[in-house]
A and B are shown apart, each in its own frame.
Chain A
Amino acid sequence: MAGEIWVLVEQWRGRVSDVTYEVLALGREVSAATGASLQAVLLGSDVKDLLPTLGAADGVLVTEHPTLGEPVSEIWALALAQLVERHQPLVLLIPQTNVTMEIGSLLATRLRLPFVNFCRDIQVTDKRLVARCLLYGGKVEATVAPQTPAVLGVLPGVRPQEQGRAERTPTVTAISLDLPAEPPVRFKGYTEPPPGDVDITRENILVAVGRGIQRPENVALAEELAAALGGAVCGSRPVIDQGWLPPSRQVGTSGMIVKPQLYLALGISGAPEHVQGMKDAALIIAINTDPRAPIFSVAHYGAVVDALEVLPVLTEIARSRRRVA
Chain B
Amino acid sequence: MPDPALSTYAGLPGYLLLWVFALVAFGLFGYRVAHFVRLFLRARPEYRGGQWAQRLGFFVLHVLGQRRLFDEPLVGAVHFLIFWAFVFYSTSFFWNLLRGMVPVLPIPYADEVPWMTLPLEVLGALALVGVMVAAARRGFFAPPRLVRSLDATIILVLITVLLLSFLTSEGFRVLAGHSTSWMPVGVVLGGWFARLGMTPAASPLYFLSAWWVHMLVVLGFLAYLPYSKHLHLLAAPFSVFFSSPVMGTVPPPSEGAARREEFTWRELLNGLSCAECGRCDRACPAFNSGFPLSPREVVGFIRDLVRAPANPKSLVVVERSVVESPLASEIIPPAALWSCACCYACMERCPSLNEHVHLIVEMRRSLVSRGEVDDRLQAVLTNLSRYGNSMGQPARARARWTQDLGFTLKDARREAADYLWFVGDYASYDPRIQPATRAAARVFHRAGLDVAILYDEERNAGTDVRRVGEEGLFEMLREKNLQAMGKAQFRQVITTDPHTFHGLRNEYGLNSVRVLHHTELVDEMIAAGRLPLKRPIRVTATYHDPCYLGRANGIYEAPRRVLRALGVKLREMRRNRRRSYCCGAGGGRIWMEEVPGIKERPAENRVREAAELGVEMLVVACPKDYVMFQDALKTTGLEGKLVVKEVMELVDEATAPLEG
Are chains A and B touching in the complex at the 8 Å CB cutoff?
yes
- A253-B376, A253-B379, A254-B376 as given contacts; A294 in contact with B392, CB under 8 Å: no
A276 touches B392 (CB 8 A): yes
Q: How far is the CB of B423 from chain A (nearest CB, A)?
A: 16
A272 touches B430 (CB 8 A): yes
Within residues 228 to 273 of chain A, which ones have a CB less than 8 A from any CB in chain B?
237-238, 241, 247, 253-254, 271-272
Within residues 562 to 604 of chain B, which ones have a CB less than 8 A from any CB in chain A?
592-594, 596
**How far apart sit A254 and B592, CA to CA, in the bound complex (Å)?**
7
Q: Which residue of B lies closest to A240 (CB)?
A: B594
Across-interface contacts of A271 in B (CB, < 8 A): 432, 631
Is B483 interfacial (CB-CB < 8 Å)?
A: no
Q: How far is the CB of A238 from chain B (nearest CB, A)?
A: 6
Is A159 interfacial (CB-CB < 8 Å)?
A: no
B634 touches A254 (CB 8 A): no
B635 touches A238 (CB 8 A): yes
- A241-B635, A247-B596 as given contacts; A272 in contact with B379, CB under 8 Å: no
**How far apart sit A254 and B596, CA to CA, in the bound complex (Å)?**
11
Across-interface contacts of A297 in B (CB, < 8 A): 431
What's the dominant secondary structure at chain B's contact region? loop
Is B391 interfacial (CB-CB < 8 Å)?
A: yes
Across-interface contacts of A238 in B (CB, < 8 A): 634-635
Chain B interface size range = 10 to 19
- A238-B635, A253-B376, A253-B379 as given contacts; A272 in contact with B429, CB under 8 Å: yes
Within residues 614 to 660 of chain B, which ones have a CB less than 8 A from any CB in chain A?
631, 634-635
Q: How far is the CB of A290 from chain B (nearest CB, A)?
A: 12
B431 touches A272 (CB 8 A): yes
- Give the interface centre of A238, A241, A272 by most chain B CB atoms within 10 Å: A272
Within residues 264 to 299 of chain A, which ones have a CB less than 8 A from any CB in chain B?
271-272, 276, 294, 297
- Give the interface centre of A211, A247, A254 by most chain B CB atoms within 10 Å: A254
Across-interface contacts of A237 in B (CB, < 8 A): 594
> B415-436 vs A: 1/0 string, CB under 8 Å?
0000000000000011110000
- A211-B634, A238-B634, A241-B635 as given contacts; A254 in contact with B593, CB under 8 Å: yes
Q: Which residue of B lies closest to A293 (CB)?
A: B431
**How far apart sit A241 and B631, CA to CA, in the bound complex (Å)?**
12
- Give the interface centre of B379, B380, B594 by most chain A CB atoms within 10 Å: B594
**How far apart sit A70 and B592, CA to CA, in the bound complex (Å)?**
43
Within residues 348 to 400 of chain B, which ones have a CB less than 8 A from any CB in chain A?
376, 379-380, 391-392
**How far apart sit A254 and B634, CA to CA, in the bound complex (Å)?**
18
Q: How far is the CB of B638 from chain A (nearest CB, A)?
A: 14
**How far apart sit A297 and B400, CA to CA, in the bound complex (Å)?**
13
Across-interface contacts of B430 in A (CB, < 8 A): 272
A254 touches B594 (CB 8 A): yes
Q: Which residue of B lies closest to A294 (CB)?
A: B431
A276 touches B391 (CB 8 A): yes
Since A237-B594, A254-B592 are in contact, a sample of 10 more A-B pairs with Cβ atoms closer than 8 Å, ordered by chain A residue number, is: A211-B634, A238-B634, A241-B635, A254-B376, A254-B594, A272-B391, A272-B431, A276-B391, A294-B431, A294-B432
- List 25 A-B pairs, Cβ < 8 Å: A211-B634, A237-B594, A238-B634, A238-B635, A241-B635, A247-B596, A253-B376, A253-B379, A253-B380, A254-B376, A254-B592, A254-B593, A254-B594, A271-B432, A271-B631, A272-B391, A272-B429, A272-B430, A272-B431, A272-B432, A276-B391, A276-B392, A294-B431, A294-B432, A297-B431
Footprint of B on A, CB under 8 Å? 211, 237-238, 241, 247, 253-254, 271-272, 276, 294, 297
Pairs of residues from A and B, 7 with the lowest C-beta to C-beta distance, nearest first: A294-B431, A254-B594, A254-B593, A253-B376, A254-B376, A272-B430, A272-B391
